[in-house]
Amino acid sequence: MPTDFWGRIIYLLDQYGLSFIKGAGVTMVIALVGTFIGCIIGFIVGIIQTIPVSRKDSIIKKVLLRIIKFVLNAYVEVFRGTPMMAQAMFIYFGSAALFNINMSMWFAAFFIVSINTGAYMAETVRGGILSIDDGQTEGAKAIGMTHVQTMLYVILPQALRNIMPQIGNNLIINIKDTCVLSIIGTVELFYTTKGVAGAYYTYFESFTIAMVIYFILTFTCSRILRFWEGKLDGPDSYDLATTDTLAHTSGLYGYNEKEKEE
């Protein structure tokens, strides 16, 4: 074992480089899958929380919606108000003690990250939906669209663009927070690093390598997400629609041209 810092770094990479790569791979898989499923949960919960109740609705619908919204609000508050490490311990060991359910490492990791992300995404989606101007909903209803159609074709496409930064932020957080799953035996990057550090008592060198890997993962994902956000924004210039739908608008009046005139 070399005595200098960089010599130990090179030695650990030579001996355990593949282990670090495997740990990083497990971290990314859990973060990506957990974020994806969590977004689905968040969209479902967020949409249900914003279902309007009118006076014309039956008493059964009103009571049922109140109960469902109460349960979903409780889920959001509990999982946003407690740390993921405590949730992991409670779910993994509690399910075995109370219900005799022995979760596998992969299932437990996906389940814990997904429901935790879903709670945060639910509030993000709810806020994204409420941020859309009420005139959008009123216009959709004026042309005969149902609430479901309004959500699918009018509100959600606009809300999605608004909440894209938060989806990316949740992915970055999950890449880092998967380290708490080491407490239930998930062999991700942090768990692997602890094993390497304990083998030679090289904690400083081992976790330096881990920090660099975490940074590479988060930085790469953030750049990709920024690029995706730019694509969702569309081109820098576009043509304004005219009142005559039969008229060909291309080249007649562009957005950038209007800005120059002003």
Structure tokens of 242? 């005219």
Rounded distance between C-alpha atoms, residue 262 and residue 257, angstroms: 9
pLDDT of residue 205: 94
pLDDT of residue 82: 94
Residue 168: what residue type?
A: G
pLDDT of residue 40: 94
Tens place of pLDDT per residue across the chain (262 aa)? 788 899 999 999 999 999 999 999 999 999 999 999 999 999 999 989 888 877 887 888 889 999 999 999 999 999 999 999 999 999 999 988 888 888 888 899 999 999 999 999 999 998 888 888 888 888 888 888 887 888 888 888 888 888 888 898 999 999 999 999 999 989 999 999 999 999 889 999 999 999 999 999 999 999 998 888 777 666 655 554 544 444 444 444 444 544 444 5
Strand pairing partners for 239? 254
Q: Which residue has the tokens 């971290």?
A: 27
DSSP collapsed to 3 states, 158-221: HHHHHHHHHHHHHHHHHHHHHHHHHHHCCCCHHHHHHHHHHHHCCHHHHHHHHHHHHHHHHHHH
Structure tokens of 11? 């030695």
Instruction: Name which of 65, 25, 82, 73 is nearest 45 in CA terms.
Output: 73
- End-to-end CA separation in angstroms for the chain: 70
